[in-house]
Amino acid sequence: MPKKDQSNEPQSFEKSLQELEDIVNRMESDQLPLEELIAQYERGASLLAQCESTLESAKKRLETIAKGEKPAAAKSPSTPSSSDDDEIRLF
């Protein structure tokens, strides 16, 4: 079975998740020697930590974006009232 690149260099979230799923499938279905199981478990733990870190970073970014949009959303209700004022002036 060809081994995937098992370097500890960061890879995309999707690639890390796919590799993690492949490891789980191999561990659940194959009759791997103990040392290979341990090596796969270690790699899986590393990938899991990487995926969790990526997800946490994405969550923080989304929260920051959401916080940044709240003030703009609060201003939008005042916009119709100012247009109402314009309409009142027209009559």
pLDDT at 2: 43
User: DSSP states of 26-62 as a string?
Assistant: HHHHS---HHHHHHHHHHHHHHHHHHHHHHHHHHHHH
List the pLDDT tens digit at each of the 91 positions of the chain.
Answer: 444 545 556 689 999 999 999 999 999 987 889 999 999 999 999 999 999 999 999 999 999 999 886 544 444 454 454 445 545 545 4
CA of 7: how far to CAs of 16, 30, 63, in Å? Answer: 12, 23, 32
pLDDT at 30: 74
3-state DSSP call for residue 24? helix
pLDDT at 7: 54
pTM for the full predicted model:
0.61
Domain segments of the chain: what residues? 13-90
Range 13-90 has CATH code 1.10.287:
yes
